[in-house]
Structure formats: C-alpha cells, structure tokens
Amino acid sequence: MMKDSSAAPVISARDLSLTFQTGDGPVHALKDVTLDIAKGEFVSFIGPSGCGKTTFLRVIADLEQPTSGSITVNGMSPDAARRARAYGYVFQAAGLYPWRTIAGNIKLPLEIMGYSASEQDSRVQKVLDLVELSGFARKFPWQLSGGMQQRASIARALAFDADILLMDEPFGALDEIVRDRLNEQLLELWARTEKTIGFVTHSIPEAVYLSTKIVVMSPRPGRITDIIDSPLPRERPLDIRDSPEFIAIAHRVRDGLRAGHLDD
C-alpha cells in the first residue's frame, strides 16, 4: 500500500470506536477504525447499510462523539476544527431553506460566519459559477430540479473556506444520468478547489470513478475491511469506467464488500 508521508494527514483516526446504547443493547457502529487522510485526497467510504460509513463522517465533523480511540482534524480535535469552520457538509437531501432563494441559501453560512455583505455577494457569485447555477440566484428551491438543488447545496458548502468537504451520499436520491453528470462536475470542482473530500456512497462505480482512496467497510461491528489507493490518474473522463484498471479496482472493492458479508 502506498502512503503519502510527505505531509501530516488532514484527518487521522486511531483505533476509533463508537458504541450507541440502544434499547436492544449496545450497537457497535464503529470498531477500531484507523485511517489517515492526506490533504487534497478524495476518499470514498463504501459499504452496506449499518457499516458505520456515515457515522465515521459524522465523527469527523464532530456530530458524533467516539466512545474510544482518537481522531484529529488539521492537527486538532474535531470540536476545535468545527469552531474553526473547517467543514463543508453535504447531506443526502439538499436541505435548502424553502423560504430563502438559492443565493439566500448560499449566504446562510456566510451570514452566520459574519462575512461582510459585499463579500457575501461576491462569494455567492463565485460558487454559483462553480456549480453552473449562475442564472438561478434569485430562484426559490422548489423551482429547481433535484439535481440542481443538490448542486446548490454543494455550492453552500463551498461558499466559506472550509478545507474539508464531507458528503454523505449526496447523489443517492438522484437518477443515474444526473448522477453521472454531477460526478463529472464534482471531479472538476475538486481539481479547481483542491479540497479534501470525504464521500459516502453505496455505489461501486461512483466510488471508483471519484476517489483517490476507497475505504471499504463492513457492518456489525462497523469496521474497515480494505483501503484501496486508486492508481487512476486525477484527470478522469467518464469513459475511464470501461478501462481494465477501473474494472480491476471495482472487482477489488466488490471482493472487499463480499468478504465483509461472509462474516455474518
């Protein structure tokens, strides 16, 4: 396995475990997860439901607290990183405020973080260009298609200077064609912004197409079964998905997923 040891990892988890206490006894959402993510990496988390991929993303963003183990983000605790506004989080649903226009929605984090009005306007314009929604600033969310809404929510996460973008199945509710287009755009966007991206998905092709690193996880308890550093170049046209390298990685991911399931 190749390791980029030149720089300190942006996200570093050591023996991270998280157990939820439920009415039916403890649920081991994460068990002994150890993972380093370097700056500028695009990391996908893939696995069946209940494998803890979303939970891990939430731990990174300080939305859940680990029960044991340690995690640092930019060399600090997730809580400190959250205070430093290090995270742009994109959920499965766009979650735009229906009472705000698209521009208003993108301004939301900027208002909270106290950007000046002129700064807000220029940033809104910039990220709208980035997600190709320039003409839609004054539209309300219900006037946009599902894919456009999700792009707007990505723009919202990009508007402030978070260096980590966490995406929890952002395209899960969209159809295949829209999804392909958004995947392509996301790669362009990643290349232009040089952000570190954590991306949760159910889809093997999506994970392989997007990622520099694929983390395969399995459930009960949620743990990492394989970490694949992708040999694919950063420049990826859609038809790379027919190349032998791509298919080989997809095979390895599938094997990893199957291995996790055999434990049941």
Partner 1 sequence: MRNLAPVLTVTAVLIAIWYAAVIPMNQQWAQDQARRAGQDLSFTALVADTMSQQRPRLPAPHQVAAELWNSTVVEELTGRRGIVNTGSLSNRSLVYHGWVTLSATLLGFAIGSVLGISLAIGIVHNRAMDASIMPWAIASQTIPILAIAPMIIVVLNAVGITGLVPKAIISTYLSFFPVVVGMVKGLRAPDHMQLDLMKTYYASGTQVLAKLRLPSSMPYLFASLKVAIAAALVGAIVAELPTGAVAGLGARLLSGSYYGQTVQIWSALFAAAILAAGMVALISLIQRATLKRMGMAT
Residues in 214-233 at the binding interface with partner 1, rule: CB under 8 A: none
Cβ contacts of 99 within 8 Å, gap of 6 or more = none
Closer of 60 and 224 to partner 1 (Cβ)? 60
x/- mask, partner 1, residues 142-161, rule CB under 8 A, reads x-------------------
User: Collapsing DSSP states into helix, strand and coil, what is residue 198?
Assistant: strand
Phi/psi of residue 86, nearest 5 degrees: -90, -10
Establish if 82 lies at the interface with partner 1 (CB under 8 A): yes
CB of 256 to partner 1, least distance (A): 29
Output the six-digit token pair for 12.
Answer: 């570093």
Gap between the Cα atoms of 74 and 81, Å rounded: 7
Size of residue set near partner 1 by CB under 8 A: 25
179: nearest Cα among 161, 143, 203: 203
Cis omega (within 30 of 0) for bond into 244: no
Establish if 78 lies at the interface with partner 1 (CB under 8 A): no
Q: Which residues are 215's β-sheet partners? A: 45, 227
Establish if 199 lies at the interface with partner 1 (CB under 8 A): no
Output the six-digit token pair for 17.
Answer: 């475990």
x/- mask, partner 1, residues 46-65, rule CB under 8 A, reads ------------x--xxx--
Establish if 241 lies at the interface with partner 1 (CB under 8 A): no
Closer of 31 and 58 to partner 1 (Cβ)? 58
Closer of 94 and 187 to partner 1 (Cβ)? 94
Gap between the Cα atoms of 189 and 212, Å rounded: 15
Residues in 86-125 at the binding interface with partner 1, rule: CB under 8 A: 87-89, 91, 93, 95, 97-101, 108-109, 111-113
What is the β-pairing status of strands 213-218 and 42-46? Answer: parallel
Q: Which residue ranges make up the site for partner 1 (CB under 8 A)?
A: 58, 61-63, 82-83, 85, 87-89, 91, 93, 95, 97-101, 108-109, 111-113, 140, 142
